[in-house]
Amino acid sequence: MRTRRGLCYPKATNDEESVRLLKKRKVELDGDFAGLRDFFDSLPDDLVLSVLCKLSSTAGCSSDFLSVVMTCKRLNGLGMSSIVLSKASRRMLAVKAKSWSESSHRFLKRVADTGNAEACFTLGMIRFYCLQNRGSGASLMAKAAIASHAPALYSLAVVQFNGSGGTKSDKDLRAGVALCARAAFLGQIDALRELGHCLQDGYGVKKNIAEGRRFLIQANARELAAVLVSCQAAAVPPSWLTWSPRRQGGVGDAGCPLLSDFGCNVPSPEPHPANRFLSDWFADRTGNVPGPGLRLCSHMGCGRPETRRHEFRRCSVCGAVNYCSRACQALDWKLRHKVECAPVERWADGNGDGDGEGL
């Protein structure tokens, strides 16, 4: 009679065999891993740096980059080198207001110190408007502007037009127009629009309506092109491109599209991460107010606060909204305000169908 411990169950022998095989496999695997480690260690720094530079310039968000450089000491050391950080993309440096901390401040400062214009501009905006460290913020924006960073040039133009951080007498319209012209030359849409309105109004520059109109045409064309490029993968709804030869003064089409001067309905442009930070900073955090009696720019994609009372221009029709610049006013008018704006007297009369230009 055969039992479980009989010869047909050679358990002990199998165990020994399997243990031996497992040990052998472990030795092989260890050898493989050791080989891999050796292979990575043998890669020259130049090659790893070039891969990390590519990663930092194309990262969709900061975690794409940080999750890689935190995997080992070598990647961390090379990933935080100035050559890699100087290539950091706009998206990689997009900081969220709700997760702002000392460490994110230090990281942005470290990237800005490498000469990365995007980091200089973002940190400059945060320091100037949110942390109210005007001197350091303005000099960081200037550093980015010197590197021909178009949003920084435009932001400095807004500072000059408003005399932000100073008094009313610190306004320098000519300097504002000059900075705007440099940003417009680089194709910055807000700057093109601002310059167009300045020329049409003779604000800080000799009045030239035809030239102003030309800049406004260019702003609209670039705006449309930017939307078409960003939506190439998605199907473009035909309503965005509805051509209307007459300027539409009425209510915008369904879906609140941006109605350009030439009747092309396109969605509102994506705000720069620095502007989104400003909007979120003052909207989300309790206690983060610009200061007593100070207001935010009414254009939602801007987020700039006043630095002194009555700094921003008001809508001349309703007086209920205020803007840091003509570009913000023109954009918000087309995007939103034209359906809300009504003269104060008409509100009092109960007839709120005003269609003021508001510019």
The nearer residue to Zn ion, 119 or 317, going by C-beta atoms, is: 317
CB of 342 to Zn ion, least distance (A): 7
User: Are 121 and 155 in contact, with CB atoms under 8 Å apart?
Assistant: yes
* Alpha-carbon span 90 to 82, nearest angstrom: 16
The nearer residue to Zn ion, 87 or 272, going by C-beta atoms, is: 272
Which residues in the 108-147 window bind Zn ion by CB under 5 A? none
Q: Count of residues for the chain?
A: 359
The nearer residue to Zn ion, 257 or 301, going by C-beta atoms, is: 301
Q: What angle do CA 132, 134, 140 make, to 5 degrees?
A: 120
**Residue 159 lies near Zn ion (rule: CB under 5 A):** no
User: What is the Cα Rg of the chain in Å?
Assistant: 29
The nearer residue to Zn ion, 159 or 317, going by C-beta atoms, is: 317
Q: How many residues bind Zn ion (CB under 5 A)?
A: 11
CB of 200 to Zn ion, least distance (A): 19
Which residues in the 281-340 window bind Zn ion by CB under 5 A? 297, 299, 302, 304, 315, 317-318, 324, 328
CB of 146 to Zn ion, least distance (A): 23
Instruction: Name which position in 163, 165, 273, 358 contacts Zn ion (CB under 5 A).
Output: 358
CB of 272 to Zn ion, least distance (A): 12
CB of 71 to Zn ion, least distance (A): 41
**Residue 341 lies near Zn ion (rule: CB under 5 A):** yes
CB of 223 to Zn ion, least distance (A): 16
CB of 123 to Zn ion, least distance (A): 19
> Which residues contact residue 232 at a Cβ distance below 8 angstroms, ignoring those fewer than 6 apart?
none
Closest CA to 43 of 74, 65, 70, 83: 74
The nearer residue to Zn ion, 219 or 315, going by C-beta atoms, is: 315
The nearer residue to Zn ion, 159 or 324, going by C-beta atoms, is: 324
**Residue 183 lies near Zn ion (rule: CB under 5 A):** no
CB of 42 to Zn ion, least distance (A): 54
The nearer residue to Zn ion, 84 or 317, going by C-beta atoms, is: 317
The nearer residue to Zn ion, 116 or 275, going by C-beta atoms, is: 275
Residues of the shown chain interacting with Zn ion in the complex, contacts defined by CB under 5 A: 297, 299, 302, 304, 315, 317-318, 324, 328, 341, 358
